[in-house]
Amino acid sequence: MKNLTKKAKTKKAITKIENTTEKKSVKKPKVTKTSLVIKHLIEKKHITSWDAINLYNATRLSAIIFTLRKKNGYNIATQNIAIKDIFGNDCIYAKYLLVSLPKKN
């Protein structure tokens, strides 16, 4: 090893520095659709499927709400809203309202 050329020593030193830097880098938390919906509910106090699709590309809002209620302890109410669509048909859609945040233990 003592017979390494100057170029080889430099390359070895650079590799060592890169390896140490990679270990120290901090991973950013992954942004999920669930976290985006939580943030939206906290800020706006309500969300609909249409909001979730347009803003966060979340097509399964009811599944996200189910998870927030059952696993995370959020108190979220459902308000059914009746409307007529462009063809005159009666339709019902859900508006989810944040009632309270989960209780801290």
| Domains of the chain, earliest start first | 33-100 (1.10.10)
Answer yes or no: is pLDDT of 33 > 90. Answer: yes
pLDDT digit string (tens) for 1-30? 456 676 776 777 777 766 665 555 677 888
Q: Exposed, middle or buried: residue 56 (CB in 10 Å: 0-12, 13-18, 19+)?
A: buried
Residues β-bridged to residue 84? 90
pLDDT digit string (tens) for 42-98? 999 999 999 999 999 999 999 999 999 999 999 999 999 999 999 999 999 999 999
Six token digits for residue 30: 């992954």
Q: End-to-end CA distance of the chain: give it in Å, rounded.
A: 58
